[in-house]
Amino acid sequence: MKKYVLLLGVAVLSACASKPPPPDWQANAFAAINSYSSAYLEGNTRVADLEFARATTEVSRTGRTDLMARLALVRCATQVASLVFEPCTAYLALATDAQPPEQAYAAFIGGQWTRLDTKLLPVAYQGLVASHASASSAVSQLNQIEDPLSRLVAAGVLLQREQISDIDIGLAAETASNQGWRRPLLAWLGVQLKRAQSAGDTAQAVRLQRRIDLVLQTPTR
């Protein structure tokens, strides 16, 4: 996930004084997309929408539709991490201008892994896709993905593909919990609660409901 934020063309300010700073639009877009991600994951929709609109404005100044396609993917992937499964319409409108790595990433987050060239994906996802190549595969490498948001994106895709285990659902919930990300935490706790209820595990369901209630009582920043 971090790769696709950086791939917006945002250059990190160099410590070397001999190098010129990046254009203003790059620094502004980078700041805005990071603010969007933080606000969205915290459950602050109003701020998230404002920051994403700011990022869109900055990137649109370039006239580069391929960068706009990347920006759309960042938003859709963040939603997948919170179990919001909707067509990535903004990306689809620009898909013909997207580069092969972005096309592969779009297929990845959409759960469309047939004939997916894993070499075009970020390294963190390549083993995951290989281990879930068939619908019956139960081998997961989710715990090997170090970046928390990337891990949640992968977990969301596995849930969408109905290839996720209870252990990995728990890992996703605790990943969101450790980061204090309210929106995905509520989503993943909800998945756990439904599974506990379906299994007739009343004690577990009650415990999970207490956690959900606690999060719901916490206001967004």
In tens, the pLDDT along 37-76 reads: 999 999 999 999 999 999 999 999 999 999 999 999 999 9
Q: How far apart are CA 69 and CA 95, in angstroms?
A: 7
pLDDT score recorded for residue 135: 53
pLDDT band at 130 (very low <50, low <70, confident <90, very high): confident
Q: How far apart are CA 95 and CA 92, in angstroms?
A: 5
Residue 16 three-state SS:
coil
pLDDT score recorded for residue 192: 98
CA distances (Å), 168 to each of 50, 58, 141, 146, 162, in order? 33, 37, 9, 14, 12
Is residue 138 predicted with pLDDT exceeding 70? no
Q: How far apart are CA 152 and CA 71, in angstroms?
A: 18
- Closest to 107 in 3D by CA, of 7, 162, 98, 135: 98
Radius of gyration in angstroms for the set of CA atoms belonging to the chain, rounded to a whole number: 18
pLDDT score recorded for residue 205: 98
The CA angle 98-45-205, to the nearest 5 degrees, is: 105
Q: How far apart are CA 195 and CA 204, in angstroms?
A: 10
pLDDT band at 219 (very low <50, low <70, confident <90, very high): confident
CA distances (Å), 39 to each of 35, 68, 102, in order? 6, 20, 24
pLDDT band at 14 (very low <50, low <70, confident <90, very high): very low
Q: Is the pTM of this model over 0.95?
A: no
pLDDT band at 17 (very low <50, low <70, confident <90, very high): very low
pLDDT score recorded for residue 148: 94
Q: How far apart are CA 167 and CA 152, in angstroms?
A: 13
Average pLDDT over residues 133-140: 56
Owner of token pair 């987050």: 109
- Closest to 133 in 3D by CA, of 151, 156, 111: 111
DSSP 27-96: HHHHHHHHHHHHHHHHT-HHHHHHHHHHHHHHHHTTT-HHHHHHHHHHHHHHHHHTT-----HHHHTTGG
pLDDT band at 11 (very low <50, low <70, confident <90, very high): very low
Q: Higher confidence at residue 48 or residue 4?
A: 48
Mean pLDDT of the chain: 88
For 218, the token pair is 């916490």
Is residue 154 predicted with pLDDT exceeding 50? yes
pLDDT score recorded for residue 151: 94
pLDDT score recorded for residue 88: 94
pLDDT score recorded for residue 2: 54
